[in-house]
Structure 1
Amino acid sequence: MSEIAVNPEMLKAVLAEALGERAQAIHVEREELTLTVDAAEYLSVMQQLRDAPALRFEQLIDLCGMDYSTYGDGRWEGPRFAAVVHLLSVTHNHRVRVRVFCSEDDFPVLSSVTSIWAAANWYEREAFDLYGIVFEGHDDLRRILTDYGFIGHPFRKDFPLSGHVEMRYDAERQRVIYEPVTIEPREVTPRVIREDNYGGLH
């Protein structure tokens, strides 16, 4: 087993040397390494992470979207949308988490990494569907989990819990129909039990 594989601090040093100023930040927390890169450098950095002999991250394990608009109880002041990617090096037996923020909140765009890892295909479609992140260079960027006519992106923090439309089967028309949602919006607050002797427990 590679010495780097069991020592995130050593991998951090290798990444810092390989990427230089293109690495905005490299953090180790709970024995896990997170690399943050700028959207403009994202594609070239990912290519290097796969191809550099000291790195060789051959496998993309996961890619997901993130909405930071309510992160830290509203104290977050950075960009709103990001993609987070988990990579694995089979050659060196080490992992890295790569985070890249979209440069615009109103129309979040990132480069697609499907040309580097084909496994990114459905993950990028999911991030597009749920968060509205557009991946430039993706050959087939369309919704993957929601319906064809779905409006909005349901994992965004400002998307209503009840949604915008509801669907039901109409027996007269003998088909599924869509209608404006009839559920009243409400704040759901969990019940907190503070009784010392609740349920007979002492």
Structure 2
Amino acid sequence: MDGAWVYLVTGGCGFVGERIVELLSRQDYIKEVRVFDSVAREEVEKLSTATTRVTVMRGDIRDAGALLAAMRGAHVVLHTAAVVDYRGTLPFGEMRAVNVGGTENVLRACCVLSIPYLLYTSSIAAVGPNTSCEPLLRSDFDNQLTPLLRAQHQDTFCAGELARTKQEESLARVMGTGIMLTPQHPTIIENASVSLNPWETGTAEIPSDNAAPV
């Protein structure tokens, strides 16, 4: 590494994103970590080190122009920004605009700017759950849903899962463009101070091991 790499983290002021920023800031080969978030918290910039500067930029991934400007000059993008709705209270249109439209903006910007590396935090909801415990294909998505989820399939409670599936389809379209794309599908991320859903509170923390280069 030549010590001049620039990383950009969408959603870098969130729980997962901030932890990623903290780990990246410890890497001597990274010159700058840019944080692009609609809720910009300036205290995240305090994660800067002697070798790595952390810069917080306020912006919305639905704003393609602002996103393109923020990503210019970056070598690696880590896309963690998303809307999560455990209670089914958000309109599907809003979730789709952020989770699908915003992700498509990130992908387009990577293509326009020839950014070679993109790591995307998706969700296990994009591929399950199902009754057979086998990987889901588009052809059997509806057939493999549990009876409860099949009934909820048209409900806003499943809007997040449907939006995530659309995200995966958008990601598939950039394969072969030269971008090194790495989707991740975590089931759940826990922290003692974070309420995960209406019935559960996490008790574990993300380990503090140093991050490996992408």
Which has the larger share of strand?
1
Superposed pair shares fold, TM > 0.5: no
Question: Which structure is larger by alpha-carbon Rg, 1 or 2?
Answer: 1
Of Structure 1 and Structure 2, which has the larger fraction of its residues in helix? 2
